[in-house]
Amino acid sequence: SLIEWHIAQGTHGIVPMGTTGESATLDTDEHLAVIKRTIEIVAGRVPVVAGTGSNATREAIHQTQEAHSAGADACLSVTPYYNKPTQEGLFLHYQAIVKAVDLPLLLYNVPGRTACDMLADTVARLSELDRVIGIKEATGDLERGNEIRSLCGESFAIYSGDDATSCDLMLDGANGAISVTANVAPGKMSEFANAAVAGDRSTAKNLDTELQGLHQNLFLEANPIPVKWALSEIGRIDPGIRLPMTTLSAEYHEALRDAMRQAGVLN
């Protein structure tokens, strides 16, 4: 039902098994089942970019192979978390994946969650490999995005992974956003992204102002705690989240409701 809602609302692509999909608390069989079911339901109507990253290179290869077999259009592969690999280790990790699997790969850099920052020079090295087509850049650092664009060229796709700064990154030439906010306000996020990517600054900024409350308050506690609560609040999913995550603390409920009202998703 969420997929059908997103497609009806104008979402441009579906990313199963990212952080917001609780990928960290699903076992491998569940992880792959979600990807396969998503591909079945989408049925080619929009691209499916499967989250297949891991802090173990062999597991990342296995999950990417399975996503490829299931018919994913591309994969999203987060930097190995906890291990703290070197920049050379990051290069070799992704090189191994694209050598093993004939599937377009989006890099994913989110050092606030992984304790691992893939620097622009490393991204530039990886951009020269076949099948490395772009990056989800979630540092929130606009200069980093501009540096990647300068080093990698216009053909290398850049997607914002930080909703709060996604407007400026897209207006600076990024190709879109892989968004937390879009899970709650897909129609408005689609309209916003269309305007920002087209360079319509006025429309993009006005819509971004309406969405900023969600951009901020969906991180009152660790993602995906607030977004799961918000979706249950509007009747899109049942309440609940897997341990060790817990449901949103009551002290934050009204602030998130206010942000949802501001974005037009709650009366």
DSSP letter for each residue of the chain: -HHHHHHHHT---B-TTSGGGTGGGS-HHHHHHHHHHHHHHHTTSS-BEEE---SSHHHHHHHHHHHHHHT-SEEEEEPPPSS---HHHHHHHHHHHHHH--S-EEEEE-HHHHS----HHHHHHHHTSTTEEEEEE-S--HHHHHHHHHHH-TTSEEEES-GGGHHHHHHTT--EE--SGGGT-HHHHHHHHHHHHTT-HHHHHHHHHHHHHHHHHTTSSSTTHHHHHHHHHTTSS-S---TTS-PPPGGGHHHHHHHHHHTTS--
Q: Which of 108, 159, 188, 228 is catalytic?
A: 108
For residue 252, indicate whether it is catalytic: no
For residue 108, indicate whether it is catalytic: yes
Q: Which of 81, 82, 99, 136 is catalytic?
A: 136
Q: Known catalytic residues? A: 108, 136
